[in-house]
Structure 1
Amino acid sequence: SEWSRGATVTDMDHFFRRKRAGLVKPLLSLSLIFVSVLMILKLKLSEKDAARIKQARDASWCGSDCFPAVESNFWRINTQHAPSKRTDAQQVSNGTGWDAQVLNCSEDASVKSQPWFRHLDPRFHQFVLHRHCRYFPMLINHPEKCADGEVHLLMVIKSVIEQHDRREAVRKTWGQERTVDGKKIKTLFLLGTPTTGKDTRNLQKLIEYEDKIFKDILQWDFMDTFFNLTLKEVNFLKWFNIYCPGVRFIFKGDDDVFVNTNNLLELTAFKVEERKDADLFIGDTITKAIPIRNRQSKYYIPKELYDKPYPPYVGGGGFVMSSQLARRLFAASEDVELYPIDDVFLGMCLKKLSVAPELHSGFRTFGISRHKASSMNREPCFYKNLIVVHKLSAQELFRMWSTVHSKDLVCAQRTSM
């Protein structure tokens, strides 16, 4: 059961903490092998279902066979728009398909002659030299995802190949595809390729097996790194603009968040009723922020790269926007220079559209409390009344989801924080 697995994971956590650091890599390798075996077994069990839908899937799924076999390259991009060979119904209805081809994107050598570049932190050199590389080939595509009638809410989750347990938790909790009061909910995970030094070939096979089972992964041919999170934003916006004409709202977030789906649907219904849904962009809004200059910070930005206050933006752990605004964001994003922090980049695009993101107290992308030991972080009634809470492990998500949806849970009153 999930609870017994949770107990086992807790015991293992204590075990790892007691062992010396030298044991970590061998144990991680064993874990990868174990996950591989589990996924292959799951695939075997699903073969009967897969056979039943094979014909429909073959007509719509585009894997690595759609592109020439070229060694994975971080900066691969289209330099010309060649017509796509795909002829699925959704592509025909839009007049086009995904058109990024397997071509190398060379660095912009002219940047090296700029005086500021010589003083720029070397960690940002590759980002700046390839900042013009924007759209990448798709290794896994699902153009049919939005084609099955009108989709009210599209759940879009940023993930990486190795985080299978998080995707599994999302699929079985708030990301489950279903219809609620006539409102259809669909789910997609956004992935790149494994970073250098990892077992790329086997990891890619694993993600293809996983997608064959669940059919909910979009994968592009750029490496999954922190700076490349912005590439997930722009490539998804382009994909959405091509393939999803009937979607009403998009929830976009990380794979380590708790989402109260019912509360999210209530929020969108309220905005529709008030006729305030056209420019809807709601989350944990951050205003008057400035770039972090601490070199040890994950979010460090040197002055040479950006030296002014940030526009208002929302924490990327989870936010909701309307489809109308998403299409406008796509158009605006093409004229905004890529920025290494994806949350801030979307804020820049919103500013270009003169749209201010709306702050909502139900979105807690920094968690309920900054103190991990706080009892509030384990209080199910807070989760019941919020919309998004960030920073939960897969097991914590399973536990909290089960508790919040238990008929035995009684909350005295709605609590606003």
Structure 2
Amino acid sequence: TAFRGACVTEKRVGLLKPLLKPLLSLSLVFASFLMIHKLKVAEKDAVGLKPVRAETWCGSDCFSFKKPFMKPGPGSDPPPAGLDGAPRVSNGTPASWDAQVLNCSEDGSVRTKDWFRRLDPRFHQFVLHRHCRYFPMIINHPEKCADGRARLLIVVKSVIEQHDRREAVRQTWGREHTAEDGTAIRTLFLLGSPTTGKDTKNLQKLIEYEDRIYGDILQWDFMDTFFNLTLKEVNFLKWFHIYCSDVRFIFKGDDDVFVNTRNLLDLIRFKVDERQDAELFVGDTISKAIPIRNRQSKYYIPKELYDKPYPPYAGGGGFLMSSPLARRLFAVSEAVQLYPIDDVFLGMCLQKLSLSPELHPGFRTFGISRRRVSPMNHEPCFYKNLIVVHKLSAQELLHMWKVVHKQDLVCAHRTSV
């Protein structure tokens, strides 16, 4: 009987196979409709609170530039496609974003180097195009700091598909508001373009619609890959230099961290009172690290690309820096060769300035405990007394934010780990 039942089941599955592909396509369309519906609900909720500023929204038709990406060959990583028309050294501040044409070919001279021939092929496209530094903007918000009131700018690295994470951040630590002490907080999400092979056109329409509602997305025309995370650093520093250099402090982090904004503001006040804010760069500092040589690791770096210890750097999950230092980082970054690990690249820029990031125990970019199964990683009293904790899903972030801000949450004493 069991055998006959299995045969009948297999026969039914065989009959259903021709229907699976259409059903999958319908499910993807349905998911898109659900996302649009959710965004429309958010748009309705925002009426009277934050009007949609259509006159300042800049979509993909704001610039005229060559759109096609440079596509990789089979089996290779997608290269960064972009532009390097601007000089490497900044001479004055342009009035607006000046990278408007995609025109960056590979540096063919590198192919003749012996070290390039020995280099792991996964890094070929990165090396051939790492002189491509600044890219056209698809979505821009030059008005974000225009009123001169913003004191803290929260900048969050994200990718197009992570709408749920952005929504969780907006409802929690990334909410734009004015704090009790008068600190005006503004928020931006940094995005590239969808990688090759994804439903690029529909994903782009969704992100443009999301931005029309919230007005908090900066998007550049380079593919959103791991190797291109450093491009978010340098393009943001340039953007900040042009549009937002009067803001006092920048918190930069990932979209999967918990940030206790009250403790973050306390840290800022302390640094200001102690006059320690001019060269402020504070986070979860990693010192005496060396490149990872394990080919299976996400952070693998071959010897041909870098063969010495890393300078001290802050974990990219979340760090705080002052505006004067951000301006200096922008200037010096133009003379630092791009590196495929973004937080290490910033450490290299700091080293050029003869500075090191300050270690602070409140920044936990590897989690409260590095053992993911540890109960400490889910203890609200730790979150109440720390500044940054990595890593949480969107649902975990919303839940922990609610628990930490409950009036009846009682912690026996100030917790430290």
Aligned position for 1:122: 121
| Higher mean C-alpha displacement, 28-37 vs 138-147 | 28-37
| Higher mean C-alpha displacement, 67-76 vs 213-222 | 67-76
Alpha-carbon offset, residue 188 of structure 1: 0.3
Q: Distance in 1 between matches of 2:382 and 2:146?
A: 36
Contact 1:94–1:243, Cα closer than 8 Å, also in 2: no
Aligned position for 1:236: 236
Aligned position for 1:77: 82
Gaps of 5+ in 2: 1-16, 71-79
Aligned CA distance change for structure 1 residues 338 and 79 (closer, same or farther; 3 Å): closer
Q: Distance in 2 between matches of 1:307 and 1:149?
A: 44
Q: Distance in 2 between matches of 1:268 and 1:33?
A: 46
Aligned position for 1:168: 167
**In the TM superposition, what whole-angstrom CA distance separates every residue of 1:129-179 from its partner, at most 9, and x where no partner exists?**
001000000000000011122211100000000000000000000000000
Q: Distance in 2 between matches of 1:26 and 1:340?
A: 39
Alpha-carbon offset, residue 101 of structure 1: 1.7
RMSD: 2.4
Contact 2:81–2:129, Cα closer than 8 Å, also in 1: no
**In the TM superposition, what whole-angstrom CA distance separates every residue of 1:174-199 from its partner, at most 9, and x where no partner exists?**
00000002000000000001111100
Contact 2:65–2:102, Cα closer than 8 Å, also in 1: no
Aligned position for 1:157: 156
What SS does the corresponding residue of 1:409 show, helix, strand or coil? coil
What SS does the corresponding residue of 2:150 show, helix, strand or coil? coil
1:64 to 60, 64, 71: 60
User: Residue type matched to 1:363 in 2?
Assistant: F
**In the TM superposition, what whole-angstrom CA distance separates every residue of 1:353-404 from its partner, at most 9, and x where no partner exists?**
0111000000000001122221101100000000000010000000000000
TM-score, normalization by structure 2: 0.87
**In the TM superposition, what whole-angstrom CA distance separates every residue of 1:319-353 from its partner, at most 9, and x where no partner exists?**
00001100000001000000000010000000000
1:200-215 equivalent positions in 2, closer than 5 A: 200-215=200-215
1:362-401 equivalent positions in 2, closer than 5 A: 362-401=362-401
Q: Give the number of the structure whose alpha-carbon radius of gyration is greater.
A: 2
Q: Distance in 1 between matches of 2:57 and 2:111?
A: 41
User: Residue type matched to 1:155 in 2?
Assistant: I
Aligned position for 2:77: none
Q: Distance in 1 between matches of 2:140 and 2:68?
A: 17
Q: Distance in 2 between matches of 1:29 and 1:189?
A: 29
1:320-331 equivalent positions in 2, closer than 5 A: 320-331=320-331
Contact 2:148–2:247, Cα closer than 8 Å, also in 1: no
Gaps of 5+ in 1: 1-21, 83-92
What SS does the corresponding residue of 2:98 show, helix, strand or coil? coil
Alpha-carbon offset, residue 117 of structure 1: 0.5
Alpha-carbon offset, residue 31 of structure 1: 6.7
Aligned position for 2:403: 403
Aligned position for 2:5: none
Contact 1:76–1:102, Cα closer than 8 Å, also in 2: no
User: Residue type matched to 1:178 in 2?
Assistant: H
What SS does the corresponding residue of 1:152 show, helix, strand or coil? strand
Alpha-carbon offset, residue 412 of structure 1: 1.4
Aligned CA distance change for structure 1 residues 69 and 245 (closer, same or farther; 3 Å): closer
Contact 1:61–1:143, Cα closer than 8 Å, also in 2: no
Aligned position for 1:101: 100
Contact 2:57–2:212, Cα closer than 8 Å, also in 1: no
Q: Distance in 1 between matches of 2:83 and 2:67?
A: 16
Aligned CA distance change for structure 1 residues 260 and 125 (closer, same or farther; 3 Å): same
Q: Distance in 2 between matches of 1:342 and 1:214?
A: 27
| Higher mean C-alpha displacement, 158-167 vs 240-249 | 240-249
User: Residue type matched to 1:104 in 2?
Assistant: N
Contact 1:257–1:389, Cα closer than 8 Å, also in 2: yes
Aligned position for 1:177: 176
Aligned position for 1:18: none
